Amino acid sequence: MGSSYSVSYVRRADQPGVQGVQPEVEAILAEVDQQMSTWRSDSDIERFNALPAHSCRVMPEPVLQLVRVGEQLFRASEGRYDLTVEPLLNLWGFGPQSRVEHVPSADQLARARLLVGQQHLRIEGQRLCKDAAVQIDFSSIAAGYAVERIGARLQALGIDDYLVQATGELKAVGKKADGSPWRIALEEPRDDQQVAQRVIALNGYGVSTSGDYRNYYLREGHRYSHTLDALTGAPVEHALASVTVIHPSTLMADGLSTVLLILGPERGWDYAEQHDIAAFFVIRDGKRFIIRSNRAFEGLSGD
């Protein structure tokens, strides 16, 4: 995934050491990469992406699972979150096929939007089909999925106390060796340095933060981030700098944090409240930040 991972766990006498656990973890990551990476032409999803309109391909069950999750998030966001935005990501300079940071013209944007739309996908048994030449990008949920897979494997090995992180998505279960909770630092959304804004304690939950402060560029004083609204075809333009979501599933935390970031500070907040999503919002206000966390978040983030 072009990033890093880490696994911390409490090892008891009857549990495997690092030499036994690390190959298991890396086998999962290699499988996810082979199935879902848009950065290698031989992955399952890139082979599907290369197909023309009105094509089908038998796909691994995890790929179909993520397409179903994407459909759920697509509907939840009224089409603003969309797994098929890769042509738009490439056009704006953020995708795997992009070469330069680029603010597209209205005509370029209109042409790219013709190749976007999750409604063009369908699942028939084990086959994934498309009725337009759309391309799928799992970058908003694949890491959360990988974390869930790793956690499940650790538990199958008898490991009940662990902290797993992949590309910034995390899950904490149980406690540390001294009996204290796993603690997660939430970063302040700054461009210049890493500063902990809040430290939360977790047990049995995944946590994901989506923000506009790591992958962006500036053109004529305007900030363009890698988070796109599929309905407009353009990077989101609002004051919401980052969203953190706590959820039993790291996969869902990963996707929902992106959905809330796309929806923005008002619509996203309302959606989190209506659906009891534990959310922590950081909103830009000039040179300072305004923090909003809902009751669901506060109920899950303490000791």
pLDDT at 44 over 90: yes
Domains, the chain, in order of start with CATH, read 168-300 (3.10.520.10)
Provide the 3-class DSSP secondary structure of residue 175. strand
- For the residues 230-236, what does the mean pLDDT come to? 88
pLDDT at 249 over 80: yes
pLDDT, one tens digit per residue, over 256-281 is 999 999 999 999 999 999 999 999 99
pLDDT of 117 reads: 95
pLDDT, one tens digit per residue, over 112-122 is 888 999 999 99
pLDDT of 216 reads: 46
Q: Among residues of the chain, what percentage have pLDDT more than 70?
A: 89
Provide the 3-class DSSP secondary structure of residue 138. coil
Query: What is the distance between the alpha carbons of residues 182 and 151, in angstroms, rounded to a whole number?
Result: 15
The pTM of this model reads 0.91
Give the range with max mean pLDDT: 165-169, 222-226, 249-253.
Answer: 249-253
When the pLDDT of each residue in the chain is averaged and rounded to a whole number, the result is: 89
Query: What is the distance between the alpha carbons of residues 162 and 168, in angstroms, rounded to a whole number?
Result: 15
- Per DSSP, the residues of 179-210 read SPBEEEEEEP--SS---EEEEEEESSEEEEEE
Provide the 3-class DSSP secondary structure of residue 52. coil
Query: What is the distance between the alpha carbons of residues 254 and 247, in angstroms, rounded to a whole number?
Result: 9
- For the residues 73-85, what does the mean pLDDT come to? 95
Is the model more confident about 287 or about 55? 55
pLDDT at 195 over 70: no
pLDDT at 300 over 80: yes
Yes or no: say if 166 and 1 are a contact pair by the CB < 8 Å rule: yes
Yes or no: say if 277 and 73 are a contact pair by the CB < 8 Å rule: no
Q: Which residues contact 138 (CB under 8 A, 6 or more apart)?
A: 36, 38, 45, 66, 70, 83, 145
